[in-house]
């Protein structure tokens, strides 16, 4: 029995040599992208970029081999969308951490191929009873993913209500690395950060970041690009951003990863999260009728 949704999606949005829609793990509908530049996959649930691999490169994005794929469940790895709040809800702890956007179905709005051979996919999330019960503001979100030699993910938030609202957001991206012991992060030297492993205490970054235990930090007012320098793979992953003032650096380390149950044995040693965000002190106020756009751009350089 063919899947009518897949038939409809492929009829309206598939593009030869660019994108087709398939049934992915856990029965999730997935946009499978393969063009001359890269491959990628995006689950319609959460508009969740799960994989990205430029031609001739190791994967850039990490996806746990032990990820659980099921309706309404966040996927361990890829680029989960934290929206319309980051972390715990400000006043209601019963609401899902990182908001609801990553576990609800998004709609495909557009697919197109660019003259440069990239594939562009645009997904939309409109509010409904479920979302308004958690977030009582008339609003909508769009995610635009551009797959080429680089990956660009843009999260747009439109305020359709008569009053301004505060938005917390993050592209909570897990990056594939050779070994956490062979990796360091640069670009955050001198930045203030809130250390979630130490009671959200405020500290200042000195030099590059190496990771040898749990790290969970929200860097504030970050001025420029960050680099994940991976000596094991002889490459740097550059994380550039637009309209994002925060960067979150996270590695759960052994105990936390084991508790989460979907990293697998030593899974945390092959990943690091470097999240493009507006979080905590950097949340943004979106005026009535305004559309706020935040983007992350990932590229790979030889070391």
Q: Can you give the binding site for ligand TA6, defined by CB under 6 A?
A: 74, 87, 97-98, 172, 196, 216, 248, 250, 260, 273, 275
Residue closer to ligand TA6 by CB (options 87, 270) is: 87
Q: How far is the CB of 260 from ligand TA6 (least distance, A)?
A: 6
Residue closer to ligand TA6 by CB (options 272, 300) is: 272
Residue from 172, 176, 268, 292 carrying the catalytic annotation: 172
Q: Which two tokens stand for residue 104?
A: 């609800």
Give catalytic status of residue 214 as yes or no. Answer: no
Which residue's beta carbon is nearest to the bound ligand TA6?
Answer: 250
- Sheet of 38-43, strand order: 19-23, 29-34, 38-43, 48-54
10 Å Cβ neighbour count for 115? 5
Residue from 118, 142, 154, 275 carrying the catalytic annotation: 275
Separation of alpha carbons 269 and 249, rounded Å: 14
Give catalytic status of residue 275 as yes or no. Answer: yes
Residue closer to ligand TA6 by CB (options 74, 119) is: 74
Q: How far is the CB of 47 from ligand TA6 (least distance, A)?
A: 16
Separation of alpha carbons 246 and 59, rounded Å: 25
Residue closer to ligand TA6 by CB (options 12, 68) is: 68
Q: What is the dihedral of CA 117, 54, 240, 80, to 10 degrees?
A: 100
Positive or negative: CA dihedral 204, 221, 275, 59:
negative
Q: How far is the CB of 48 from ligand TA6 (least distance, A)?
A: 11
Q: How far is the CB of 88 from ligand TA6 (least distance, A)?
A: 9
- CA distances 171 to 83, 194, 248, 273, 298, Å, are 9, 18, 10, 10, 12
Q: Which two tokens stand for residue 117?
A: 């051979």
Residue positions annotated with a catalytic role: 172, 275
């Amino acid at each position: 029995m063919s899947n009518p949704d897949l038939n409809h999606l492929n009829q309206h949005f598939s593009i030869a040599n660019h994108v087709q829609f398939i049934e992915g793990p856990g029965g999730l509908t997935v946009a499978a992208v393969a063009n001359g530049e890269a491959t990628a996959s995006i689950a319609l649930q959460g508009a969740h970029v799960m994989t990205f691999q430029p031609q001739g490169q190791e994967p850039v994005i990490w996806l746990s081999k032990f990820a659980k794929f099921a309706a309404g469940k966040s996927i361990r790895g890829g680029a989960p969308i934290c929206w319309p709040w980051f972390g715990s809800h400000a006043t209601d702890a019963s609401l899902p951490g990182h908001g609801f956007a990553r576990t609800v179905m998004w709609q495909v709005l557009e697919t197109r191929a660019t003259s440069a051979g990239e594939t562009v996919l645009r997904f939309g999330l409109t509010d409904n009873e479920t979302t308004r019960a958690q977030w009582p503001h008339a609003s909508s979100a769009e995610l635009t993913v551009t797959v080429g030699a680089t990956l660009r993910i843009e999260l747009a938030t439109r305020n359709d209500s008569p009053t301004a609202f505060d938005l917390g957001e993050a592209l909570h991206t897990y990056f594939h690395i050779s070994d956490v012991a062979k990796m360091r992060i640069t670009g955050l030297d001198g930045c203030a950060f809130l250390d979630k492993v130490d009671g959200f205490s405020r500290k200042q970054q000195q030099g590059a970041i190496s990771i040898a235990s749990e790290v969970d930090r929200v860097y504030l007012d970050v001025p420029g690009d960050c680099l994940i320098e991976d000596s094991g793979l002889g490459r740097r992953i550059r994380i550039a951003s637009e309209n994002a003032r925060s960067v979150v650096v996270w590695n759960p380390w052994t105990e936390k990863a084991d508790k989460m149950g979907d990293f697998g044995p030593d899974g945390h040693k092959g990943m690091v999260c470097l999240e493009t965000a507006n979080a905590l002190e950097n949340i943004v106020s979106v005026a009535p009728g305004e559309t706020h756009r935040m983007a992350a751009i990932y590229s790979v350089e030889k070391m």
